[in-house]
Amino acid sequence: MTLGSALGGVATGAAPAIDAVVAHSGTTHAGTPHWLLGALTLLGIAAVAFGWTRLRDEDASGRLGAGVFATGVVMVIAGTIGLVEVQIAPQATPDWTRWFPVINAITAALLAVGSLVVVRWKWPERPRYVGLGVLLAAWIGYPTLMPSEGLSHPFGYLLAAAVPLAIGYVLWRDAGDAFPGVFGARLPQVVGAVTFLLFAVFYAFSAGTLSVNPDLTADMVGQGFVEPYRVASPLVYWPALEFYFPSIPLSGYVSAGSLLLVGILGGLVASNAALAARQWSTGGAVQSPRAMIGTVTTAGATACGCCAPAVYGAAGVLFGTAATPVYWAFMDPSSPVGGLFFAASVLLLTGSLIRASHDPACGFPRESESGAVSEQAA
């Protein structure tokens, strides 16, 4: 739905028709009550907080803190995946969603102008930040400003490619020596790889690209398949493979667009985690915890914002069908919320990565420096 048609619908008082994304229905998953999945998620959050506290305590056992922290992360992921799988799908599109395209356009304009003002004020020597902000603003406003939502327009593919290239360029120019050199050490490598894998699994389930609680149709029952498919997200149509394996059961799809999003967000989250692991391994995290704090907060923003169905699933546990406005805010393709949280997550994660890469605790000695030290010791 374009901005013009939305304004026309608002002016006439008619709500335009929107193809809704249908969530899974039900109140249990594999016999597990909805409230129990919510309790598992909350317990996991408590374990993460406790583990983080133990890691910050110099007198506490680092292994215990790391173990509790990792266990809490797994519990949160398992609980939120379960919540997504049993969330209740609203049946009717509310009238207020006709304002989404208008809000979307305004949000994109504010982000573009805000990027220019903030960068001019704080980093006038780095105009590349303005470029990244404008690209993210275009990402938000694209479905509204382009005719027919731009689902097949070449500009959408160019925009989808330009955003990760801009992120890479900013990191190349402004990240310190610790990035990407930190991946030369074993511990950051392992932490980064595990973090990326966990994020990819969480994203796949929370975004609805994978499900172990499929909505079965008469054609699907008892019959597995793998078929080519097209998915209109993000921005444009992407080639995909749709599949269903009844013996697991597992259904979903894998598209070039979903891989792009996982690569962008998962790569940023994993890179932040690798730098944080470098801090802990050098013993510098207690003296300089800002990168670790930034990693936790921005990863949380990414999980809540970009994995939107998980937010609705959690809200559904607390408020039931009263949480349907949250569903439409995140799941409606014309809503600005998903794009805005994507942009915010990219900016927060990129900024956190740049700050962490300049932290002395993440640094590696240069070969010349290490050689000089060896000669002096000899």
Share of the chain residues as helix, strand and coil, in percent rounded to the nearest 5: 70, 5, 25
Quick one: 99 exposed, middle or buried, by C-beta within 10 A (0-12, 13-18, 19+)?
A: middle
pLDDT band at 67 (very low <50, low <70, confident <90, very high): confident
Q: Exposed/middle/buried for 368, CB within 10 Å: 0-12, 13-18, 19+?
A: exposed
Structure confidence by residue, pLDDT tens digits, 1-48: 544 444 444 443 444 433 333 444 444 445 567 678 778 888 988 988
CA dist 331 → 114, 172, 328, 342 (Å): 26, 34, 5, 13
pLDDT score at 4: 45
Residue count of the chain: 378
The model's confidence at residue 221, banded by pLDDT at 50, 70 and 90, is low
Domain ranges of the chain: 3-11+34-89+98-362
Q: What is the pLDDT of residues 181-195, one digit of tens each?
A: 778 788 888 988 988
Q: Which residue has the higher pLDDT, 8 or 98?
A: 98
DSSP annotation of 97 reads G
What is the enclosing helix (H) or strand (E) of 69?
Answer: helix 62-86
Residues 130-137 have a mean pLDDT of 94
Number of H helices and number of E strands within the chain?
Answer: 14, 6
pLDDT band at 367 (very low <50, low <70, confident <90, very high): very low
pTM of structure: 0.77
pLDDT of residue 87: 61
Report the candidate in 42, 40, 30 with the shortest Cα–Cα distance to residue 86. 30
